[in-house]
Amino acid sequence: MIEKLPSPVVNPDSAPYWNAAREGKLLVRKCRACGEFHFMPRYLCPKCWSHDLDWVEATGKGVVHSFSIVRRAPAAAFGDRVPYVVALIDLEEGPRMMANVVGEGALDTRIGDEVRVVFEDRGDGARIPQFVRGA
């Protein structure tokens, strides 16, 4: 039996992020008190602990900080996807996020590659921010 790929688990802190992803937008939080951008979505700034935060749309551009190639599926649903790339992406705005590098040449990913966001459908309208190589 092939399981479905997991969909996002949405909570009140992350709902704006996932709702924007459904519309093909990548949001990050920006602190109004200190100006710091951060990811993953939180209700407090991890730098100054202010709760006065904005959501801002990221450019979707980033650079591969590090990556790994997954060759053994962690669950049956990922069986058709191996091998695939899990990467730490440094966004242009500063935050670092984890995502897959997908698309043509994904397995040739190298540290320092320029990447840009794409959105992968997960059913029921849910979309996951992923990255492809090339600016």
Residues 6+ apart with CB under 8 A from 22: 125, 126, 127
Q: Which is nearer to Zn ion, 30 or 127 (CB)?
A: 30
Give the Cα separation of 130 and 86 in Å (integer).
10
Residues 6+ apart with CB under 8 A from 88: 64, 65, 66, 67, 96, 97, 98
**Least separation, in Å, of the C-beta of 13 and Zn ion?**
16
Q: Compose the 17-56 pattern: x for residues touching Zn ion by CB under 5 A, - for all others.
A: --------------x-xx-x--------x-xx-x------
**Least separation, in Å, of the C-beta of 37 and Zn ion?**
10
**Least separation, in Å, of the C-beta of 34 and Zn ion?**
3
Name the residues that contact Zn ion, by CB under 5 A.
Answer: 31, 33-34, 36, 45, 47-48, 50
